[in-house]
Amino acid sequence: MLQFLLETSWWIPCYGLVGAVLTLPWSIGLIQRTGPRPAAYLNLLMTCLALVHGAIVLRGVWHQDPQVILLHWFQAADLDFSLALTISPVSVGAMEAVTGLSLLAQFYALGYMEKDWALARFFALMGIFEAAISGLAVSDSLFLSYALLEILTLSTYLLVGFWYAQPLVVTAARDAFLTKRIGDLLLLMGVITLSTMAGSLNFPDLYAWADTAELSASTSLLLGLSLIAGPIGKCAQFPLHLWLDEAMEGPNPASILRNSVVVAAGAYILIKMQPILALSPGALTVLIVIGSVTAVGASLVAIAQIDIKRALSHSTSAYLGLVFMAVGLQWTDVALLLLLTHSIAKALMFMSIGSVILTTNNQNLTEMGGLWSRMPATTIAFAVGSLGLVGLLPLGGFWAMYQAIYSFWFGQPILVTIVLLVNGLTIINLLRVFRLTFLGQLQPKTRRSPEVAWPMAVPMVSLTVVALLMPLILHNFSLLPDWSYTNKIIVVLLLVSGLIGSAIGVTLPLNRGWSRTIYKPLRLAQDVLAYDFYVDRLYRLTVVAGINGLSRCSAWFDRYIVDGLVNLAGLSSILSGEVLKYSISGQSQSYILAIFLAAGVLGLLLTWSIW
């Protein structure tokens, strides 16, 4: 039985896809009498089967060599598009993390979207979501990974635009889709280039090619930049970062996955491509610069947000920036550890704020307060998620930050400073959100806010326990450093940055009018951060304006030059025909005379040119 499950392990990502197909009768309205909940139960059942199957496979491959499953999808001449999967403890463990978080998010959605008329369609999209991310975890082919990333982009578009009757939702879905398409198009160029250079798109073959490849500096740089463009869009990094906060217009259960494992999927592909990116030191430098700018900038922007979901989404971009920095320095193990701890903590925090949004029907931080007495489980979940994210002992976020600083410690003092700064700024932001939401006096919109029902409370409490046990999980996986060899200076620096951030976050005045101060210098700083350094307006004045101008010039040239020449030729034909019709007499001798005259004139012209 175990051998059969191992041989069919490639089916695990398909469970979510099967669940999405099973929900179709309810999604398209063929079955209405039962309501949409049976579709949700079917999708949950398939996710449970995927989780159990993956757990058995993980136990079977533990301490075993990776196994490769190769399916030749298309072969023609020297072109071979193979669907390659790798079954290893790392890939199956990542797939289990995705499936587990998907199961909790779907269970959470039963309570959050209980009265939504399109519940079946939502679960169908979540099934596709799960299938694409699980497939990325075990994919061993750049060709397959790119195809799954495209499915993920489409799923993001459909989930962000789920409530399509709202104009703002439609705009957010469009922006998210188009922004990702920019990165995907550039990534496609890199994939096609690699297929011609290496002759294969399977990662083992690409690694072997990269060991012996000799590329010019310009070629390697362009190839590296095209390959990192896709993950930049998926991970909401500068300059393709504006879509993530707009994507918060979608249902919160989808935001749980989007801010935990969806953005991590892009970084996971970046980690898989790291040996290829090593061919270009310039591309690695670009990764470090982009990650640094996004980490610091997004941490600052998050502090000025008054929408509770946007305040957390910007911190997602900031932490993915740290992952980009780690990949740029070729510390892939640190990047994976950051992804793991961030995914658990951020999923828990979005479950907590989803409970707040559902009970208060509000996302404005300035209209909240005093919820700790009304929603104790939600308050504890947010606190545990926050502690699991930042560099404060003893939860997983501290050890991930420690490993990042330890990796940057020798020769990269600027990056060490950035990690400490991001840690302090994140703590300030999370304390601000916690104080405005859960502490203080009850507000009109929070006076009657009971704790959420058990379908939402059970996954939230379960993930709280997982976040609390994260240090033990990391210890069992041998991911924690030996305390006797721990760099005490790094520990002190990390704790000091956390304590400074905590002190500022606790003492920062947060009255209800703080969101729009009367002091002009402070208001200017608030506006710059609240509007994301006006990057969107800069795009409108540069990129958008340039494309609009180019489009107008192209339209003018097409209308007056191209169409003008075509219309002139047509008009000339009409006029010449109208003139020549009067010369038709029906007498053959006149036609012969005209031919002789024309031939004579032509002969004279030729003779004149010779003279």
Alpha helices in 213-273 (DSSP H): 217-234, 243-246, 252-257, 263-272
434 contacts: CB under 8 Å, gap ≥ 6: 382, 383, 386
What is the model's pLDDT at position 381?
A: 93
What is the pTM (predicted TM-score) of this model?
0.87
Cβ contact 298:317 at 8 Å: yes
Nearest to 224 by CA among 319, 152, 328, 121: 328
Cβ contact 321:237 at 8 Å: yes
What is the model's pLDDT at position 517?
A: 63
What is the model's pLDDT at position 295?
A: 92
Mean pLDDT by 10 residues, the chain (611 residues): 73 88 86 85 91 87 80 69 82 89 91 86 90 89 89 88 85 86 89 86 87 85 90 86 82 87 87 88 91 91 88 90 91 89 92 90 86 90 91 85 89 90 93 89 82 89 91 82 80 90 86 61 77 82 86 88 84 76 68 78 74 55
The two tokens of residue 50 are 């995927």
What is the model's pLDDT at position 424?
A: 92
Place of tokens 């300035």: 366
CA atoms within 13 A on the CB side of 254: 27
275: exposed, middle or buried (Cβ count in 10 Å: 0-12, 13-18, 19+): middle
Fill in the DSSP letter of residue 562.
I
Domains of the chain by residue range: 1-140, 141-204+216-530, 539-610
What is the model's pLDDT at position 600?
A: 83
What is the model's pLDDT at position 584?
A: 67
Partners of residue 429 on adjacent β-strands: none
3-class SS letters over 70-125:
EEEEEEECCEEEEEEEEECHHHHHHHHHHHHHHHHHHHHHHHHCCCCCCHHHHHHH
CA atoms within 13 A on the CB side of 470: 28
What is the model's pLDDT at position 264?
A: 86
- Distance from C-alpha of 60 to C-alpha of 286, rounded to nearest angstrom: 40
What is the model's pLDDT at position 586?
A: 66
